[in-house]
């Protein structure tokens, strides 16, 4: 192994000789990996190989300390070229090459078909194309926030340039002066379906130049040219660079070259024999039987555990909004995030926090945070896909990060980005306002009524839906000071404070938010109404009316619909019936979660689900809720009728 630095004038003769030998070893590893697995992407791995060898041999990265602070970031965006990445990481001492080859694409190890962040030397799990540049933005911001300098290199495919998220990311890079980032495009002119220019013609260079990048073109198989371009890019502190590297799909094996068929196909036995002959290696080195035996034995992985650090924030003191202090949950969110940021700052330095907005700062109430901590606020414009990925990546850099948006944009539009952030062990907090039906007159296109059904599929996501501003305050403080992905969902309108039976704020004073708990607002023996979020106030009015008529109905609030405590479900199972109330699709929301939990506990009790059963029209929120049967009188009538049917 030979290492160099971008501070050197050029690659030495020794480095060039090593590079040529290493290319051959890596080609063999790529073919071995994909042949043993009988699947994979050898063609692009071979075309990107020279780029990878120059990057990992010259960037400021260390196999002995792969997660060191201030390291350069090599963020491979076209993650399907994993055989090429793994072969180079083995060559540079980051991983055991034999282990990578023998366990590639098998269930017993980390060497998956697309690169995984848990592997030393890999910065971001990518597979869905178009993610790498956005992730690199988050990482560079993270290093800046911690007062460190790094360079970020983003190898990417030419086919993925068709993705709109890349255009979003490159504009963000220029706006925030992230000159530390260099994009390297593997221009082999092929993708799965054939030639890139036939599938979707693009002026790739002009697109990058139009957004303010310096574009240069090099021979992607000439290590000296690659080095020179990367060196100049690294030294430029004014503009980011995009290097278009002209390469050959399947480089180094004649019958694979310039054929899209080998984008995602392993060699058959006859082709493997030809590859062995062409690469000119000792046939003993191609004996796959020992590797196949190791693959079947499934020995434990030797890959070290990846550290996952999160900052320790001070949650500050909870705020209690008085009964006569009518406000909205989003304002309580804005106040709480500002409070936590102030409490976590020492007065001279900004806190290890950041907030991202997509042209909705006033609506999502980030103004106070932005005003006091302008260096921690990032305005991305109407670019939700990039923003979600960038924020997720930043949250892995010991910076608690908030992505605030309207529900339909922050959940429905960016679901895949959040899923990938979870896979990458992010610490992202997604705060969505204008949730459910509470979007004012904007209408059905802006009504996010399926967020529970969507987000519950993300295994690491915690879903929090507060009932009023007081609970919002406490949920926000909890989410910001605990690790992992979290979603906080709020409506648009000002709400009445939820009160206890004495008329005091139920979620104020000494109330402590506990995930999984059903908060019992009213006790009752004739049945239990369980509400979620904005309609809780209407449900409370309905329950109080029924109680005044002599029907002993209780009311509970489920702030964590997908994580209900077993003891709470056991208590609920003792009721004659349960009615769920939510401004969410009745198919996949709270009602479904309650039914599932009761069934899992081996209990079946009558259940009525009151919620959204079709797309709702435009109109003032009060009228929309009435139209959907979610006003207090409609809830009262349905609960009363359901109770009478049970008698």
Q: How many residues does the chain have?
A: 647
Same domain, 589 and 441: no
Instruction: Tell me what pLDDT residue 109 has.
Output: 84
What global pTM score does this model have?
0.97
Q: How many helices (H) and strands (E) does the chain have?
A: 24, 20
CA angle 185, 114, 141 (to 5 degrees): 60
- Rounded to an integer, what distance in angstroms lies between the CA atom of residue 532 and that of residue 544? 17
User: In the 8-state DSSP scheme, what is residue 408?
Assistant: I
| CA–CA separation, 96 and 119 (whole Å) | 11
Which DSSP helix (H) or strand (E) runs through 518? strand 518-522
Last residue of a domain, one of 280, 297, 314: 297
Model confidence pLDDT, tens digit, residues 74-99:
999 999 999 999 999 999 999 999 99
Angle between helices 164-175 and 384-394 (to 10 degrees): 60
Element (H, E) at 477: helix 469-480
CA distances from 442 to 210, 268, 431, 618, 620 (A): 34, 57, 19, 6, 9
State the number of CA atoms in the 13 A half-sphere of 294 facing the CB: 20
For tokens 């948006």, the residue is: 405
> Read out DSSP for 181-200?
EEEEEEE--EETTEEHHHHS
How far apart (Å, rounded) are the C-alpha atoms in residues 256 and 273?
13
- Do 376 and 161 form a contact (C-beta atoms < 8 A)? no
Q: Are residues 182 and 289 in the same domain?
A: yes
Same domain assignment for residues 481 and 523: no
d(CA 607, CA 590): 12
CA distances from 487 to 384, 399, 536, 548 (A): 16, 17, 19, 36
Residues 256 and 371 in one domain: no
Residue 315 within a domain: no
Return the H-helix or E-strand segment holding 222: none
Instruction: Sort strands 486-489 and 241-246 into parallel, antiparallel or unpaired.
Output: unpaired
The answer on 533 and 439 residing in a single domain is no
Whether 319 maps to a domain, the answer reads: no
Q: What is the distance between the alpha carbons of residues 619 and 623, in angstroms, rounded to a whole number?
A: 6
- Asked if residue 510 is part of any domain, the answer here is no
Based on the fold, state whether residues 101 and 143 are members of the same structural domain.
yes
Q: How far is CA 412 from CA 409, 462, 511, 618, in A?
A: 6, 16, 32, 19
Q: Which domain holds residue 26?
A: 13-297
Q: Is residue 213 part of a domain?
A: yes
What DSSP string runs through 319-361? Answer: ----TT--EEHHHHHHHHHHHHHHHTS-SSS--SEEEEESS-H
| Terminal Cα distance for the chain, rounded | 81
Confirm if 115 and 85 have CB atoms less than 8 A apart: yes
End residue of a domain, out of 464, 495, 526: 495
Residue 647, pLDDT score? 82
What value does the mean pLDDT of the chain take? 96
Residue 221's contacts (CB-CB under 8 Å, 6 or more residues apart) are: 50, 247, 248, 251
Inside any domain, residue 509: no
| Per-residue model confidence as pLDDT tens digits over 291-328 | 888 788 877 777 888 888 899 999 999 999 999 999 99
Q: Report if residue 1 sits inside a domain.
A: no
- DSSP type of residue 218: E
CA 390, 140, 460, 37 torsion-angle sign:
positive
> Whole-angstrom Cα distance, residue 225 to residue 230?
9
278 shares its domain with 412 = no
| Dmax (CA) of the chain | 92
| Predicted local distance difference test score (pLDDT) of residue 288 | 76
* Predicted pLDDT at 645: 94
For residues 263 and 346, state if they share a domain.
Answer: no
Nearest to 392 by CA among 359, 429, 364, 366: 429
- 115 and 236 part of one domain: yes
Q: How many Å apart are CA 182 and CA 57, to the nearest integer?
A: 16
Number of neighbouring beta carbons within 10 Å of residue 292: 13
At residue 243, the 3 state secondary structure works out as strand
* Secondary structure (3-state) at 519: strand
Tokens 């990518």 appear where?
126
Look up residue 225 and give its two tokens. Answer: 């040219």
Distance of alpha carbon 389 from alpha carbon 387, whole angstroms: 5
Distance between CA 316 and CA 530 in Å, rounded?
30
Which tokens go with 382?
């109407």
Cβ contact 311:352 at 8 Å: yes
Spatial distance between the Cα atoms of 326 and 215, rounded to a whole number of angstroms: 55
Three-class secondary structure of residue 520 per DSSP: strand
pLDDT digits (tens, 9 = 90+) for 584-624: 999 999 999 999 999 999 998 999 999 999 999 999 999 99
Q: What is the CATH number of the domain that holds 527?
A: 3.40.50.920
What pLDDT is stored for residue 282 in this prediction? 66
Is there a domain that residue 52 lies in? Answer: yes
Give the residues of the chain that fall short of pLDDT 70: 281-286, 347-348
Which residues make Cβ contacts (< 8 Å) with residue 428, sequence separation at least 6?
Answer: 391, 392, 395, 401, 402, 403, 418, 421, 485, 486
In angstroms, the CA 32 to CA 272 distance is 9
- In a 3-state reduction of DSSP, which class is residue 445? helix
Same domain assignment for residues 539 and 581? yes
Q: Does 548 lie in the same domain as 491?
A: no
Q: Which two tokens stand for residue 205?
A: 């260079």
Q: Does 385 reside within a domain?
A: yes
Strands 241-246 and 494-495, by their bridges, are unpaired
Residue at which a domain ends, from 431, 462, 495: 495
Measured CA to CA, the distance from residue 556 to residue 271 in angstroms comes to: 66
Gap between the Cα atoms of 611 and 535, Å rounded: 9
381 and 286 in a common domain: no
The number of distinct structural domains making up the chain is 3
pLDDT tens-digit readout, 488-547: 999 999 999 999 999 999 999 999 999 999 999 999 999 999 999 999 999 999 999 999
Distances (CA, A) of 116 to 104, 142, 455: 12, 20, 22
- Measured in degrees and rounded to the nearest 5, phi and psi for residue 168 equal -60, -45
Residue 521: φ, ψ to 5° = -80, -40
The string of DSSP codes covering 147-167 is T----EEEEEESGGGG-HHHH
Q: Checking phi first, is residue 491 left (phi over 0); if not, alpha (psi -120 to 50) or beta?
A: beta
Q: Indicate which CATH number applies to the domain containing 346.
A: 3.40.50.970
């Amino acid at each position: 192994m030979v290492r160099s630095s971008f501070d050197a004038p050029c690659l030495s003769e020794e480095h060039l000789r090593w590079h040529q030998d290493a290319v051959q070893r890596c080609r063999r590893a790529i073919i071995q990996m994909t042949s043993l697995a009988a699947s994979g992407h050898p063609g692009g791995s071979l075309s990107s190989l020279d780029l990878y060898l120059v990057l990992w041999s010259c960037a400021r990265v260390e196999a002995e300390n792969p997660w060191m602070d201030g390291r350069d970031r090599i963020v491979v965006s076209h993650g399907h070229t994993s055989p090429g990445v793994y072969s180079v990481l083995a060559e540079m001492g980051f991983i055991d090459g034999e282990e990578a080859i023998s366990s590639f694409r098998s269930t017993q190890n980390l060497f998956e078909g697309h690169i995984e962040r848990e592997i030393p030397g890999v910065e971001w799990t990518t597979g869905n194309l178009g993610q790498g540049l956005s992730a690199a933005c988050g990482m560079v911001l993270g290093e800046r926030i911690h007062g460190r300098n790094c360079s970020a290199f983003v190898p990417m495919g030419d086919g993925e340039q068709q993705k709109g998220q890349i255009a979003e990311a490159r504009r963000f890079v220029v706006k925030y002066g992230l000159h530390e980032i260099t994009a390297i495009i593997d221009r082999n002119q092929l993708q799965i379906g054939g030639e890139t220019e036939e599938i979707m013609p693009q002026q790739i260079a002009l697109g990058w130049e139009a957004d303010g990048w310096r574009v240069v073109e090099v021979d992607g198989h000439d290590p000296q040219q690659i080095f020179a371009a990367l060196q100049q890019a690294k030294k430029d502190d004014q503009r980011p660079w995009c290097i278009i590297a002209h390469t050959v799909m399947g480089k180094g094996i004649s019958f694979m070259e310039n054929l899209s068929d080998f984008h995602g196909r392993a060699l058959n036995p006859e082709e493997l024999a030809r590859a062995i002959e062409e690469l000119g290696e000792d046939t003993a080195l191609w004996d796959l039987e020992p590797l196949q035996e190791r693959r079947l034995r499934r020995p434990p992985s030797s890959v070290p555990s990846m550290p996952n650090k999160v900052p320790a924030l001070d949650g500050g003191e909870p705020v209690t909004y008085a009964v006569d202090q009518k406000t909205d949950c989003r304002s309580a969110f804005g106040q709480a995030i500002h409070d936590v940021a102030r409490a976590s700052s020492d007065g001279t330095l900004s806190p290890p926090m950041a907030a991202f907005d997509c042209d909705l700062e006033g609506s999502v109430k980030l103004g106070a945070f932005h005003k006091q901590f302008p260096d921690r606020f990032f305005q991305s414009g109407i670019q939700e896909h990039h923003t979600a990925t960038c924020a997720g990546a930043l949250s892995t850099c010991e910076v608690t990060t908030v992505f605030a948006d309207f529900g339909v944009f922050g959940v429905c539009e960016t679901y895949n980005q959040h899923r990938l952030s979870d896979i990458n062990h992010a610490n992202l907090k997604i705060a969505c306002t204008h949730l459910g039906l509470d979007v004012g007159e904007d209408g059905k296109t802006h009504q996010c009524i399926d967020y529970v059904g969507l987000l519950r599929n993300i295994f690491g996501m915690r879903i929090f839906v507060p009932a009023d501003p007081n609970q919002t305050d406490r949920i926000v403080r909890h989410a910001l000071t605990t690790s992992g992905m979290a979603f906080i969902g709020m409506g648009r309108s000002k709400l009445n404070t939820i009160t206890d039976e004495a008329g005091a704020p139920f979620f104020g004073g000494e109330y402590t938010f506990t995930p999984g708990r059903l908060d019992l607002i009213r006790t009752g023996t004739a049945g239990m109404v369980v509400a979620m979020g904005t309609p809780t106030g209407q449900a409370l009015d309905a329950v109080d009316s029924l109680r005044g008529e002599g029907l002993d109905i209780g009311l509970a609030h489920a702030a964590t619909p997908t994580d209900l405590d077993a003891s709470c479900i056991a208590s609920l199972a003792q009721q004659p019936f349960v009615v769920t109330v939510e401004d969410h699709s009745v198919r996949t929301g709270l009602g479904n979660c309650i039914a599932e939990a009761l069934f899992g506990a081996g209990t079946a009790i009558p259940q009525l689900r009151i919620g959204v059963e079709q797309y709702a029209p435009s109109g003032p929120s009060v009228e929309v809720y009435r139209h959907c049967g979610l006003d207090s009188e409609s809830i009262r009538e349905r609960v009363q009728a359901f109770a009478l049917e049970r008698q």
